[in-house]
Structure 1
Amino acid sequence: MLKQVFFNAKMAGSQSRFLARSCGFAFCSNDFPYPSAFMQATLEDLGQLKRAFRIEVSLEEIKPTYDAVYQRLRNTRLNGFRPGKFPKGWLDKRFKTMMQQEVAGTVIPRYLNQALHDHELSAATQASIEELEFDRRSPLFAKLHFEVKPDLELPDYTKLQLERRTPEEITEKEIDEEIKDLQRSRSRPVAKDNPVVEDGDLVRIDFEGTVDGEKFEDGTNENIVFIIGSARHPELQPHLLGMRPEETKEVDVTLPEAFGEDAGKTAHYTLILNSVERMELPELDGAFFANWEVDTEEEFRETTKANLQHSREDDIKASYRLTLREQLPALYDDFPLPEALLMQGDASIDQQLEKAEPELSDEDKAKRKEEEIAKLRGELKLQYLLDSIFRKEQVFVDPRGTIEELYGFAQMYGSNLNEFLDSHTGERMYHHISARRENEAVLDRVAARVFGDPVEEAPVHHDHDHDDHDHDDHDHDHDHDHAH
C-alpha cells in the first residue's frame, strides 16, 4: 500500500477564493468544469462518517499530465551524462516518484472535488491516498479515504426562544458624545504653554516598581506613551497629575487585576515624567467631514447617527446569535463526529497541557484534558449544526463583505489585496473571516425563522457548458469549514 499522502488543494487566484463560496452551497456547480466522462468515482461507505472513493481517470484525460512530467524528466541534466542520456531505469523510477507528487498535489485534489460535488458530499477531513496505480499507457486509479461532515436535519425553529428587541432611538446627546470621540481619535499632540500634566494630556514616562523590594513582571519600563484618561496604566495616572517634565515622584499603589499573581499587592513606584503635551482636537470643518465623504455638519451628524443606529442593531444581532449558539445544540441528540479531528484535537490538547502547565499532576492533567475534550466536542457539534443549516437553508453570504474586510487588513499590512491573499497571514485571515461571516449569516437566518421574518433568497446560479472547457488553469477549494 502506498504510504499515506495528505493534501489540501489551494486556490490559485484571489477571485476564485471569493467565488467558491458565493453560491451559498457546500459546492458550487460552476466550480467543477471537468467532464464526468473522463473520471469515474465509486463511493464506499466505511461506517459512521468514513468514506472512500475509488477514482479512475481515463488515459485520454491523464495523458497530458503523464507527458508533461515525463518531458520535465527528459530535460534533466545529470552530472557525468550527455544531454538526454540517463542511467538505465532512471527515467521510469523518477517518473513514478514525480508522478506521485503531481497526483497528490494537483491531480487528485481536482478530481476529488468533482467526486464530492457529484455525490453531494462535504469533506470534513483531508483525504489520504491509500492506493495509487498508474503508468504512461494506462488510466490512473486511486483509492482515497476521508471523513464527511454529519448531514443533519434542520432544527425545529419553534423550540427556540428569542425575545425580539428594538434598538432605542439615538439621542442628540449621544451624537454629540460620538462626534467628540471621533475628534479625539484624530487629535494631535501639541506643546503646552504651561507643561503640567492634566486630564487628556499625552505623557511620556519612565517607571520602576518593586514589591517587597523585588522587581516584578511588567513593573519597569521606559518611554511609555499614553493619554491621561485612557485605559493604560490606570494605577499610575492619578499620581501623574500635576507633574512637570523631568520631575520624579515616589508613590505606593495597589496593583490591579491585570498584574495576575501580583494583583492586590502594594507596589512602590519611582515615576519620571519625560514630556507632556496636550491633545488638540481637529475643527469640525470641511476637511474633517471629508473623512466621512460628507460636506456639511448636518450631513456629518446624520452619518454619525446612522452609524450609531447600525452599531446598536449589530449589538442586538450579536445577542441573538449568542442565545442561539447556546440553545441550538440542545435540539439535537448526540451524533458521530469525525474521528480524525477528535484524534488531532486529543494530541493537540496533550501538547498544550505539557507546554503550558508542565507542573500539573497526572490527575489534574487528566481532569483538564477531559474538560478540553468536552469543549472540543461541543464546538464541533455546534459547527456541524451551523454547517448543515448553511447548506439546507441555502444561506447566501455576499463575498463583497469579505473582500472589504480583507482589503482593510491588506492596507494595514501595506500590501495590495492579491499579494496579501498569497501570504500565509492573508490566507489564514481569509478563511477566518469567511467562516465567521458564514456562521453569522446562519444564525441570522435562524433568528429570522424564529421571528417569522422574510429571508433573503440565494441568487440562482446556472451551470455553464463544460464542453471544450480548458480546465488546466483551474484550481479549486472545497474547504467550507466554519471553525474559529
Structure 2
Amino acid sequence: MQVTEILSEGLKREYRIVVPATDIQGRIDEKLDEIGDTADIKGFRRGKVPRSLLRRRFEKSVLGDVLREAIDRSSKQAMLDRGVKPALTPQVDIAKFEPGDDLQYTVALEMLPEFDPGDVKALKITRLTADVSDAAVEKAVAGLAEREKNFVAAAEGHEAEEGDSVRIDFEGRIDGEAFERGTAEDFDLELGSGSFVPGFEEGLVGAKKGESRDVEATFPEAYSDPRLAGKTAVFAVTVTDVRVAEAVAVDDDLAARFGMADLAALKAAVRERAQRDYRAASRMKLKREILDMLADTHDFAVPVGMVDREFDSIWQQIEQDLKRTGTTWDETDEDEDSAREEYRGIAERRVRLGLVLSEIGRRNNVNVPQDELNRAMMNRALMFPGEEQNV
C-alpha cells in the first residue's frame, strides 16, 4: 500500500492511497473460495468447483464488497500509522480502478485537534446547598390549598374582585381589526392570576354578571407573537357569570386529595420535593460554572464539519419554532444573518466543550453506562419532535 499526503491545512488532511492489484485479486480469490465451499453448482461437489468457473459467475458480484473492504482497511491503517483521528466519516473518491489494476483513491477528512485539557482538579467551584425551612413548606402547602379551592356562584349583583372567577365572551381588535386568537366564548378567567394580557384582568374588576364593557390592554414587548408585541388592543367583553372562591382548609382532608395519609405526610412529601428541586438547581448552576470555566480556558481550532452539523441542528429547531408561530424573520427584532452568526458561535462553543469533556473523560477513564447513554439520547430526541429517528 502506498500513501501520499496531498493536503495538510489546519485540521484538514487528504491522502492519495494506492492498493496493489495483487492485494485486490488476492481478496477476490478468497471470496470466491468462500463461495465455492458452500455453492451448489450442477456437476460439482461443494468445495470442488474450479476457480475459473467461480470467477466467471461471481467475480463481478464480489468486487464491490472487496473494494469497500480494501478502502476501509487501507484508509484506517493509513490514519493509524499517522496518528490521525477523523472527526467525522472521511470522504472517499475513487480516482482510478480497472479489474486487474491497482486501486487508486483519495480520502479527505478533518482530524480531531490535539490539545491539553488541563488539570480539572485545579478548577475551584462552590456547590450551593440549602435546607428547606418550615416557612417554605407551609407556603408550598398553602399554595396547594389555593389551587384546590372551589368556585361557587356569587350573590346577585356581586361586583367581581381579585380572586374571583369570571366567565366571559370577548373579541379583541387592534386599530379596529380583529386578530388571530383574539376571540373566545365561555372563557373562565381568575382575576389577579396574571394569566392574560396586562391590563385585561384589572379592567374586569367591578364587573357584574350580564355586564358588557370594553377593556383596553397592551401586549408586552416580549410577547411570543411578534405581530402583537407592544400593541394595544381593545376587547369587547361580556361577563356571563361571576363566581367566588371557597377556601380549602389546610388539614388531613387536603392531604387526602393528594393521596397522603395525613397533613404531616403531605408536608414531608412537600419538603422532600423542595429538597430535590434545590439539589437540581444547585447541580445546574454548578454545571454552568464548570462549562463556562472550561470554555474560558480553551481556545483551539475545531473541525468545521462538526460545527456545521451542530449549527444545522440548532438552526433546524429555530426554523421549526418560527414556523409553529407563523413568524418570519422580518417580524422579529433580530436580523437573520446576525442570528446565524450568533448561533454558529454557540455551535462552535458546544463542539469545543464536547471535545474537552471527551478528552477529560478519556484521560480519567470515565465510562458512561449504556442505560445512561440511552436516557440521554432519548432526552435529546425529544427536543426535536418528528425527527426522533434522525437524532
TM range (shorter): 0.5 to 0.7
Q: 1:382 to 1:169 in 2, by over 3 A?
A: same
Structure 1 Cα separation of the partners of residues 30 and 166 of structure 2: 68
Q: Which residue of 2 aligns with 1:253?
A: 217
1:255 Cα shift? Answer: 3.2
Q: Which residue of 2 aligns with 1:445?
A: none
Q: 1:395 to 1:346 in 2, by over 3 A?
A: closer
Structure 2 Cα separation of the partners of residues 59 and 245 of structure 1: 89
Say which SS state the counterpart of residue 258 (structure 2) adopts: helix
Q: 1:378 to 1:192 in 2, by over 3 A?
A: same
* Pair 1:168 & 2:130 matched: yes
Structure 2 Cα separation of the partners of residues 244 and 402 of structure 1: 58
1:182 Cα shift? Answer: 4.7
1:269 Cα shift? Answer: 1.5
Q: Which residue of 2 aligns with 1:193?
A: 153
- Give the AA of the match of 1:335: F
Match of 1:152 among 96, 115, 120: 115
Q: 1:310 to 1:323 in 2, by over 3 A?
A: same
- Aligned residue-pair number: 341
1:311 Cα shift? Answer: 1.4
Say which SS state the counterpart of residue 176 (structure 1) adopts: helix
Structure 1 Cα separation of the partners of residues 372 and 128 of structure 2: 25
Structure 1 Cα separation of the partners of residues 222 and 129 of structure 2: 34
Structure 2 Cα separation of the partners of residues 392 and 205 of structure 1: 64
* Pair 1:383 & 2:354 matched: yes
Structure 1 Cα separation of the partners of residues 347 and 374 of structure 2: 30
Structure 1 Cα separation of the partners of residues 11 and 92 of structure 2: 17
Structure 2 Cα separation of the partners of residues 285 and 346 of structure 1: 49
Q: 1:191 to 1:376 in 2, by over 3 A?
A: closer
Say which SS state the counterpart of residue 335 (structure 1) adopts: coil
Q: 1:194 to 1:388 in 2, by over 3 A?
A: same
Alignment of 1:249-288 (within 5 A): 249-259=213-223, 260=226, 263-273=229-239, 283-286=253-256, 288=258
Match of 1:179 among 141, 145, 148: 141
* Pair 1:308 & 2:274 matched: yes
Deviations 1:125-155 (A, max 9, x none): 3443423999999xx9986543343343222
Q: Which residue of 1 aligns with 2:288?
A: 322
Say which SS state the counterpart of residue 153 (structure 2) adopts: coil
- Give the AA of the match of 1:178: A
* Pair 1:232 & 2:203 matched: no
Q: 1:387 to 1:247 in 2, by over 3 A?
A: farther
- Structure 1 vs Structure 2: percent identity of aligned residues? 21
1:270 Cα shift? Answer: 1.1
5+ residue gaps in structure 2?
A: 40-55, 320-326
1:121 Cα shift? Answer: 7.4
Q: 1:180 to 1:234 in 2, by over 3 A?
A: farther
Structure 1 Cα separation of the partners of residues 28 and 343 of structure 2: 51
Q: 1:207 to 1:253 in 2, by over 3 A?
A: same
5+ residue gaps in structure 1?
A: 1-39, 72-88, 414-420, 432-484
Q: Which residue of 2 aligns with 1:289?
A: 259
Structure 1 Cα separation of the partners of residues 130 and 312 of structure 2: 48
Say which SS state the counterpart of residue 192 (structure 1) adopts: strand
Structure 2 Cα separation of the partners of residues 147 and 427 of structure 1: 26
Retained in 1: the 8 A contact 2:306–2:351? no
Structure 2 Cα separation of the partners of residues 337 and 406 of structure 1: 23
Deviations 1:305-360 (A, max 9, x none): 2221221122222222223333322322x42221334566899999999x954799
- Give the AA of the match of 1:257: E
Structure having the higher strand fraction is 2
1:387 Cα shift? Answer: 3.1
- Give the AA of the match of 1:391: R
- Give the AA of the match of 1:319: K
Q: 1:142 to 1:255 in 2, by over 3 A?
A: same
Deviations 1:77-123 (A, max 9, x none): xxxxxxxxxxxx9x999x699x68xx99xx899989x9899899765
- Give the AA of the match of 1:289: G
Q: Which residue of 2 aligns with 1:339?
A: 304
Deviations 1:201-255 (A, max 9, x none): 6655443223343445654445555554445214222234454565432122333
Structure 2 Cα separation of the partners of residues 122 and 200 of structure 1: 64
Q: 1:203 to 1:179 in 2, by over 3 A?
A: same
Structure 2 Cα separation of the partners of residues 166 and 357 of structure 1: 40
- Give the AA of the match of 2:218: T
Retained in 1: the 8 A contact 2:152–2:246? no
Retained in 1: the 8 A contact 2:207–2:239? yes
Structure 1 Cα separation of the partners of residues 255 and 241 of structure 2: 30
116-125 vs 153-162, which moves further: 116-125
Structure 2 Cα separation of the partners of residues 396 and 318 of structure 1: 21
Retained in 2: the 8 A contact 1:151–1:388? no
Say which SS state the counterpart of residue 257 (structure 1) adopts: coil
Structure 2 Cα separation of the partners of residues 132 and 111 of structure 1: 17
